[in-house]
C-alpha cells in the first residue's frame, strides 16, 4: 500500500475529529450545551477533538462567513472525520459536496433549518433545498431526538445513515419548592417564537386562580421582536406583578430557581428532544408542556402502568394549556402526584456519559466502514 494511503487509513481509524460550529461554542443554548458536553466527553475518552468556530450569521451566512467556512473546511487534512453542526451544514451544500470527496463528513442535526418556527415560507423552501443537498453529501447524520429520524426521511436520508444520540442530563437534587402561598412556576428557554412564551402568557391570563408567579429564565437577546411581543402581552394582560423575565442565567443561578420552583412550564411548539424538560424532571418537578419531540416519552405520558410526571397538551393549543395550568395550579394533590412521577423519572434519565458513549460508537462504526 502506498505511503499516502497508509497515512490516510491511519487518520480515518484514529480517534480524531474536527467539530465545526457556527458562532461561539460557549453560547448558552441547548444545542451548544450538547456540543460542549459531547466534546468534553469524547476528549475524556481519549479522542482528539478540534473545534473550529465559523460565523455567527449561520444558517443564513454573510458572504464573509461563507468564505471563512469554506477556507476552514479546505484546510482540514484528507481523511479526517468532520462533524458539522446542522446550523452551519445546511447552508454549505456546495462545500459539503466538494469536501465529501476527501473528508468523512458527519451532520449533527438538532432541528432541520426549515422547521424553525417563525421562518417565512420562501425562506423555509430555500433552507430545505439547501439542507437536503448538504445532507446528501455526508456519510452519517447524527440527530438529537428520535422524532428527527422521521423528519429526515423527508430529506431523502436513509435510516441506515442516521444515528440517534439523545442529550444527557446531569443528576440534580430534588427541588425543595417555594414553601410559600404563591405557586412558583418556572420556564427555562430563550425567548424565541418556537418556545411559545406568548401562548403561555395568554393561557395563564385565563386561569381563574391568581396564586401563582411565573419566572422566565432565558436569553432576551436572541430574538428582540419576540421579547417585545411577550412584554406587550404581559402588560396587556395586567400580569406585570406575576411574570418576571429575568434573562439568561449561568448553571448555578438557574439551579437555584429550579430548587425554589413548584412547577415547570414550557409551551414549546417544536422540539427534537427538549433538554429543559429533562432538566426539570432531574429536579423532580412536575411539568406542564406540549406533545412534541421526546417530551411525552420523558414525562411518561400515556403509560398506564405508572404515574406520569406532567400534563401535556398539543403545541399551540391555548385552551388546552389553560385547562392544564388551571388544574395543576388549583389542585395540590395532583401536583404532589405528578411530582412523585417526576422523582421516579429522574432516576432513569440518560446521562451525558450515555450520550458520549453513543456518539463514540456511531463515529467508530463510521471509521471502521472506511
For the record, the C-alpha cell of 8 comes out as 490516510
Identify the pLDDT of residue 11: 43
**141-152: pLDDT as tens digits:** 999 999 899 889
For residue 278, is pLDDT > 90? yes
For residue 196, is pLDDT > 50? yes
For residue 229, is pLDDT > 50? yes
Respond yes or no on whether the N-terminal peptide bond of residue 59 is cis (omega within 30° of 0). yes
For residue 66, is pLDDT > 60? yes
Q: Could you identify the residue written with the cell 394582560?
A: 237
Identify the pLDDT of residue 301: 64
Identify the pLDDT of residue 250: 87
CA angle 348, 296, 59 (to 5 degrees): 100
Res. 306 pLDDT band, cuts 50 70 90: low
Q: Are 279 and 237 in contact (CB under 8 A)?
A: no
Identify the pLDDT of residue 362: 94
Identify the pLDDT of residue 230: 98
Q: What is the mean pLDDT of the chain?
A: 91
- What pTM did the predictor assign? 0.90
Identify the pLDDT of residue 101: 94
CATH numbers and ranges of domains, the chain: 3-168+351-369 (3.40.50.2000), 183-346 (3.40.50.2000)
For residue 212, is pLDDT > 50? yes
Identify the pLDDT of residue 10: 42
**Rounded to an integer, what is the distance from CA 42 to the centroid of its chain?**
19
**Of the listed ranges 11-15, 42-46, 109-113, the one predicted with least confidence:** 11-15
Identify the pLDDT of residue 251: 85
Identify the pLDDT of residue 210: 77
Q: Are 105 and 82 in contact (CB under 8 A)?
A: yes
What average pLDDT does range 48-65 have in this prediction?
94
**138-183: pLDDT as tens digits:** 999 999 999 899 889 989 999 999 999 999 999 999 999 998 888 9
Separation of alpha carbons 27 and 299, rounded Å: 28
Amino acid at each position: 500500500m502506498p505511503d499516502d494511503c497508509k497515512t490516510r487509513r491511519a487518520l480515518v481509524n484514529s480517534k480524531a475529529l474536527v467539530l465545526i460550529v457556527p458562532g461561539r461554542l460557549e453560547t448558552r443554548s441547548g444545542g451548544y450545551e450538547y456540543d460542549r458536553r459531547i466534546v468534553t466527553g469524547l476528549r475524556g475518552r481519549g479522542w482528539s477533538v478540534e473545534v473550529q468556530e465559523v460565523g455567527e450569521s449561520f444558517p443564513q451566512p454573510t458572504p464573509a462567513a461563507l468564505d471563512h467556512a469554506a477556507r476552514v473546511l479546505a484546510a482540514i487534512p484528507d481523511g479526517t472525520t468532520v462533524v458539522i453542526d446542522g446550523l452551519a451544514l445546511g447552508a454549505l451544500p456546495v462545500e459539503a459536496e466538494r469536501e465529501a470527496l476527501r473528508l468523512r463528513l458527519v451532520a449533527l442535526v438538532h432541528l432541520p433549518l426549515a422547521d424553525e418556527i417563525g421562518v417565512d415560507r420562501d425562506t423555509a423552501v430555500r433552507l430545505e433545498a439547501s439542507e437536503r443537498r448538504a445532507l446528501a453529501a455526508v456519510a452519517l447524520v447524527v440527530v438529537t431526538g428520535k422524532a428527527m429520524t422521521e423528519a429526515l426521511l423527508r430529506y431523502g436520508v436513509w435510516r441506515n445513515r442516521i444515528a440517534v444520540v439523545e442529550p444527557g442530563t446531569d443528576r440534580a437534587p430534588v427541588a425543595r419548592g417555594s414553601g410559600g402561598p404563591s405557586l412558583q412556576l418556572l420556564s427555562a428557554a430563550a425567548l424565541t417564537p418556537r418556545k411559545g412564551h406568548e401562548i403561555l402568557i395568554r393561557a395563564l391570563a385565563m386561569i381563574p386562580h391568581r396564586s401563582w408567579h411565573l419566572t422566565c429564565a432565558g436569553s432576551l437577546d436572541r430574538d428582540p421582536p419576540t421579547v417585545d411581543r411577550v412584554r406587550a402581552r404581559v402588560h396587556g394582560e395586567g400580569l406585570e406583578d406575576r411574570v418576571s423575565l429575568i434573562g439568561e442565567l449561568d448553571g448555578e443561578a438557574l439551579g437555584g430557581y429550579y430548587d425554589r420552583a413548584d412547577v415547570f412550564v414550557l409551551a414549546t411548539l417544536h422540539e427534537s428532544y427538549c433538554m429543559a424538560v429533562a432538566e426539570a424532571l432531574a429536579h423532580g418537578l412536575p411539568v406542564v408542556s406540549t406533545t412534541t419531540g421526546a417530551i411525552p416519552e420523558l414525562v411518561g405520558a400515556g403509560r398506564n402502568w405508572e404515574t406520569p410526571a406532567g400534563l401535556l397538551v398539543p403545541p399551540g393549543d391555548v385552551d388546552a394549556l389553560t385547562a392544564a395550568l388551571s388544574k395543576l395550579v388549583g389542585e395540590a394533590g395532583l401536583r404532589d402526584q405528578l411530582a412523585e412521577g417526576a422523582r421516579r423519572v429522574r432516576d432513569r434519565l440518560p446521562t451525558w456519559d450515555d450520550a458520549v458513549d453513543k456518539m463514540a460508537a456511531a463515529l467508530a462504526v463510521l471509521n471502521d466502514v472506511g
